[in-house]
Amino acid sequence: MEDSYLLDIFLSLWNKREVKDGSNSPTATVKEMMKSELLDEFSHPRVRKTKEEKYFLAVKRVIDSDLKTEDQIRLIRLYTDVMESFK
């Protein structure tokens, strides 16, 4: 599966998300976007959720999507890798 395909399926889950910097590989870009999502960087500090809550919500969003099962698994694995990198 191509890296750019991974970026496309990730972006299909999130409305109004755009890639800011094209200098990274598509996989690195997806991981950075996942990291920002899990750290809840898009919310005001007073209403931010924990990484665990955001991980749960992200995985639920992937599972509830219309993506093919293998695409869902790939995204969930990446979310898990990013989550484990916080330890």
pLDDT in tens, 31-87: 999 999 999 998 999 999 999 999 999 999 999 999 999 999 999 999 999 999 998
Which alpha helices (H) appear in the chain, and where do they start and end?
Answer: 3-13, 26-38, 51-63, 69-85
Say if residues 31 and 43 touch (Cβ distance below 8 Å): no
Closest C-alpha among 56, 6, 5 to residue 31:
6
Tell me what the mean pLDDT of segment 8-35 comes to.
84
What confidence category does residue 24 fall into, taking pLDDT thresholds of 50, 70 and 90?
confident
Q: Is the pLDDT of residue 2 over 80?
A: no
Cα distance from N-terminal residue to C-terminal residue, the chain: 28
CA 83 to chain centre: 10
Domain parsing of the chain, residue ranges: 3-85
Count of Cβ atoms closer than 10 Å to residue 43 Cβ = 11
